[in-house]
Structure 1
Amino acid sequence: MNTTFKAFVLACGFALQMVSNFAEADDAALIQRGEYLAKVGDCVACHLTQNDKPFVGGLKMMTPMGAIYSTNITPDAETGIGRYSEADFARALREGVAKDGRNLYPAMPYPSYAKVSDGDVRALYAYFMKGVAPVRQPNRESDIKWPLNMRWPLVFWNMVFLHKGAYEDKEGKDVAWNRGAYLVQGLGHCGSCHTPRGIGFQEKALDESGEVYLTGAPVDNWFASNLTGDHNSGLGRWSEADIAQFLKTGANLHAAAFGSMTSVINHSTQAMSDTDIAAISHYLKSFPAAGGSGAAVYAYDPKATKVSLARPANDAGARVYTAFCMHCHGADGRGFAPLLAPLAGNPNVLEKQPLSLINVTLNGTDDLVIGGIPAPYPMPSFADVLDDQQIADVLTFVRGGWNNGAPPVSAREVEKLRQSTGKAAAQ
């Protein structure tokens, strides 16, 4: 072999190695981007089991027809999505149709994921196929009884309620607004929880053009908050910085996360870039007020509540509050935010639907874990400490205190939710 030919062979080998290195770098970057997008989409929240195995599914989710269970989305070839092509993956994600042609229940937020761009779908596919460890775990069938468990009617559901097509930037809106809209409407699927659903279990609106979009809705014994500009129960008094702080840490001067929002903070929003968080905040602050109770604009006034707390024997709710609540939330109702949530003017307190207040009082809430550190003062459970009437009394006191002006809570409402969540009554 002459010297010239040897040099040519070496040059070719070097070029091939360089091409291979670039391909590997591109592949790694795509997987890394997919990992970030999976956090933006909070995929792990629904596909994480109680033994903390990510993406293996098995999480129980209640629907009006019965319980369904999330599926294994690891790349296991037998029980997961290991045999999915990118086209199969995209169809499942954006159209709710599995590789075998089976329609997915719309508890999977594919009406939102329909807006995800081709590039982001490609990155997600790369991550789930090459960045997630395969785990063999068979999927669990739903508890929905025949004939309601038949899935063929979902073909017609999709024809009516699924709007295909990736998000397209709105003219006249800035870059941050469009990025925020893409994240909220698409991967973030905020409307899946925060928008009321119709008789067909469909979201009544999929973007800001609908009057009820993000006006709040009951979800699995909680009430997902109003995210519009309503002054009392929405984000009307929040700045963009307030929203950003809440999404990054789960708490701000106005409120603290609880229920399923705790999981969203823990697994999704705290991991998002500051730029994306700012875009979401910017988009949400563009919403006008909608979905509120129509009550007078809230203004803090502690006078009447001070009188009640000074003589708690005259008010059953005040007696419970002074014994169990005041040391954290304060006599002035302002708590010690953001460590301990305020009750005066808290949008969740002013909401006409008391579902979340009852649930968090009965059952407490999971720990917020920010940067690996659990929050120091999680809301404890009072299900085995207070009876239904006591909880109704204290929540009525809170909803009426400090000029909150929200409707009272009945013992029957507490009893009903206690039964729904399987908590025994206090003895």
Structure 2
Amino acid sequence: MKIHLISLSLGAVLLAGSASAQDDLTERGRYIATASDCVACHTGNADKPFAGNHVIASPVGDIVATNITPSKTYGIGSYTEAQFSDAVRRGVRADGANLYPAMPYTAFAKLTDEDMHALYAYFMRGVEPVEEPSAQTSLPFPFNIRASMVGWNLLFRDTATYQPDPSKTDAWNRGAYLVQGAAHCSTCHTPRGALMQELDDKFLAGAQVGAWYAPDITSDPETGIGSWSKDEIISYLQTGRAEGRAQAGGSMAEAVEHSFSKLKTEDLEAIATYLADVPASSGAKKEGRFDQGQPGNMTASFRGLDTAPSGLAAGAQVYSANCASCHGINGTGTKDQYYPSLFHNSATTGSNASNFIAAVLNGVDRNTDEGHVFMPPFGTQVNSFNSLTDEEIAQLTNYASTQFGHRSFDVDASDVAQVRAGGPSPNLLQMVRLLMGIGAVVIVLLLALVLLRRRKS
């Protein structure tokens, strides 16, 4: 009897130990999924995380993220671990079809086998299945042919996992692993070539991403973040703002809210260590993006006029009516910088006005442990907030750049309309169709030559 009881007790201990190990593995996978910000793209309805139906705008059309819950009918519940790894790191689904690189498998390829094992455990055991299908992606020809991705992958897909640099510190290597892999920073911050491939020689040098511009985050002290301290980088990732530097909006605000703000401090320190060592971007130097401008206002330029003001005075009037109540008539913001200063602010300077325009059009909305940060969108009528026209936003943008920045913005209503429509559209689709048209003409001519030769013979 004692032997039997001892056996039962030992079995219970082993089962408890096994369950604990599984829990630890699942928790590790949850952390990797958080670092990878999977929820941002694969969640269309906040009440149904990972159930898909989130629409991702791409240069070739809208791509609908799929259901990645463990539903065996509509999600990935029937995926083996090898199939899951192929989807995440190779961009190939269980049925053999290719994923579009809106799924950043080119970055996730760097994830280690151990992390992939944990990630699989999390999605299979730590995520609630949602028994609903996601909408299908429908792209224009020829991009609707997923097999076309085979050629793109042959040219641009690197399947190598991250290899630590023995000459660097553990913190540097951890930061490199996160930046290059899970956090997939280059997906947004690296410029792309004619075929939408990342330009490796311009790693993290800044790129247009839809309506927003993902800025240079290399160690360049002028155009990048080389002048930031590590504490400022960490603060920005944790809260979405670095006082006197920048504030996160758009997809970066989502990344801060869902991913970076939930990472361990030591991982944020590792990211800051690595970014401080990324080679400065090449190209002509421009004035710094962070130390520019001073407080001031131009209210005297439009008050008491018998006619509507024009030029900078018109922008000053738009600012006074819509922005001054939060950011201050002189652009100083509030004392606690909840509403930030508009001088010493990257949004009001630089060579690209997209972020200022997009913030005005779309607003800013992010949640972190620091609290809820909200700026209403002025591109649409929301409650009592007015909707500004493209012309008014252009006037406001030019005024803000002149009063608080380097006078580097010179935009008109058409520039605002482009951002309102989702940003500049690469001519990839037109280029591919042109090449296909040329190819068709060549084929027709070759066939005609063959027929002529046959007739002569």
Q: 1:272 aligns with which of 254, 260, 263?
A: 263
1:216 pairs with 2:214: no
Quick one: distance in 2 between partners of 1:12 and 1:50?
49
Quick one: distance in 1 between partners of 2:287 and 2:252?
28
User: Once structures 1 and 2 are overlaid, which stretch shifts more, 338-347 or 76-85?
Assistant: 338-347
Q: Which residue of 2 aligns with 1:425?
A: none
Q: Which residue of 2 aligns with 1:3?
A: none
Question: Per the alignment, do residues 370 and 306 of structure 1 end up closer, same or farther by CA in structure 2, a change over 3 Å counting?
Answer: closer
Q: Which residue of 2 aligns with 1:282?
A: 273
Quick one: distance in 2 between partners of 1:307 and 1:54?
46
Quick one: distance in 2 between partners of 1:12 and 1:285?
57
Quick one: distance in 1 between partners of 2:375 and 2:360?
12
Q: Which runs of 5+ in 2 are unaligned?
A: 304-311, 382-386, 424-457
Question: Per the alignment, do residues 225 and 291 of structure 1 end up closer, same or farther by CA in structure 2, a change over 3 Å counting?
Answer: farther
Q: 2:410 aligns with which of 408, 411, 414?
A: 408
Quick one: distance in 2 between partners of 1:60 and 1:420?
13
Q: TM-score, normalised by structure 1?
A: 0.89
1:243 pairs with 2:241: no
Q: 2:378 aligns with which of 347, 365, 381?
A: 381
Q: Which residue of 2 aligns with 1:252?
A: 242
Q: Which residue of 2 aligns with 1:424?
A: none
Aligned to 1:223, the other structure's residue is in SS state: strand
Aligned length: 407
Quick one: distance in 2 between partners of 1:225 and 1:89?
32
Q: 2:139 aligns with which of 127, 134, 144?
A: 144
Q: 1:31 aligns with which of 21, 26, 29?
A: 26
Q: Which letter maps to 1:323?
A: A
Quick one: distance in 1 between partners of 2:167 and 2:377?
47
Q: 2:393 aligns with which of 383, 391, 394?
A: 391
User: Once structures 1 and 2 are overlaid, which stretch shifts more, 337-346 or 156-165?
Assistant: 337-346
Question: Per the alignment, do residues 374 and 419 of structure 1 end up closer, same or farther by CA in structure 2, a change over 3 Å counting?
Answer: same
Q: Which residue of 2 aligns with 1:179?
A: 174
Root mean square deviation, CA, Å: 2.2
Question: Per the alignment, do residues 346 and 287 of structure 1 end up closer, same or farther by CA in structure 2, a change over 3 Å counting?
Answer: farther
Percent identity of paired positions between Structure 1 and Structure 2: 37
Quick one: distance in 2 between partners of 1:222 and 1:301?
22
Q: Which runs of 5+ in 1 are unaligned?
A: 1-5, 422-427
Counterpart contact for 1:232–1:292, Cα < 8 Å: no
Aligned to 1:417, the other structure's residue is in SS state: helix
User: How many angstroms does 1:239 deviate by?
Assistant: 1.1
Q: Which has the larger radius of gyration?
A: 2
How big is each residue's C-alpha offset from its partner over 1:126-183, in whole Å with a ceiling of 9 and x where there is no partner? Answer: 1100011111121322121333211112122112111112111112211111111100
Q: Which letter maps to 2:241?
A: A
Question: Per the alignment, do residues 222 and 403 of structure 1 end up closer, same or farther by CA in structure 2, a change over 3 Å counting?
Answer: closer
Quick one: distance in 1 between partners of 2:6 and 2:55?
58
User: How many angstroms does 1:291 deviate by?
Assistant: 5.9
Q: Which residue of 2 aligns with 1:328?
A: 326
User: How many angstroms does 1:249 deviate by?
Assistant: 1.0
Q: TM-score, normalised by structure 2?
A: 0.84
Q: Which residue of 2 aligns with 1:417?
A: 419
Quick one: distance in 2 between partners of 1:335 and 1:292?
33
Counterpart contact for 2:223–2:285, Cα < 8 Å: no
Aligned to 1:368, the other structure's residue is in SS state: strand
Q: 1:194 aligns with which of 179, 189, 194?
A: 189
Quick one: distance in 2 between partners of 1:288 and 1:321?
38
Q: Which residue of 2 aligns with 1:294?
A: 285
Aligned to 2:56, the other structure's residue is in SS state: strand
Question: Per the alignment, do residues 183 and 373 of structure 1 end up closer, same or farther by CA in structure 2, a change over 3 Å counting?
Answer: same
Aligned to 2:247, the other structure's residue is in SS state: coil
User: How many angstroms does 1:275 deviate by?
Assistant: 0.6
How big is each residue's C-alpha offset from its partner over 1:283-330, in whole Å with a ceiling of 9 and x where there is no partner? Answer: 11223432676323465453xx73745534572222222222223223
